Amino acid sequence: MKHTISCRVRNRPGVLARVAGLFSRRGYNIDSLAVSAAHQPGESRMTIVVEDAENIMGQIVQQLYKLIDVIQVIDHTGDTVVERELALLKIQAPAEKRMEILQLALVFRARAVDISEGAVVLEVTGSPDKIDAMERVMDPYGIAEMVRTGKVIVARGTRAT
């Protein structure tokens, strides 16, 4: 099972390394990590996705709170959230396949952000499942490169993220 954790931290050097180190010391790999400045000055928001940490998730949350620059930690596993991810896919697109690729991209509401003689770069946003599905559909055409941002979330309603 995947766990999604949001952390609000002070925007200081070394905070990211300390948070990542906490997971590493416990032998858990971070599947996805997105960090950016928060709307509050001097703060950042981290969205961390970890798999199979069910038995010690409570301990991880408590340990995160012990880090000096961590302000708030919420495990959103099972919560109703809005989640999005961004991906850029560079697809091998010879002239005879280009229109077919662009039509398939429309199904995923992806848009072409670059078209060159032999490749098309597509931008798609959505849930991680949507990104995975687009990857499967485009794979037969030849994915030359793919970059994903990692999942970001916001809690629905008035609940804090």
Please give the domain boundaries of the chain with CATH numbers for all domains: 2-78 (3.30.70.260), 82-153 (3.30.70.1150)
Q: Alpha-carbon distance 144 to 90, whole Å?
A: 5
Tell me the pTM. Answer: 0.82
Residue whose pair of structure tokens reads 């037969």 in the numeric block? 140
Task: Say if residue 152's pLDDT is above 90.
Answer: yes
Kindly state the tokens that stand for 99.
Answer: 């229109």
- Model pLDDT, residue 145: 97
User: 94 falls in which pLDDT band (50, 70, 90)?
Assistant: very high
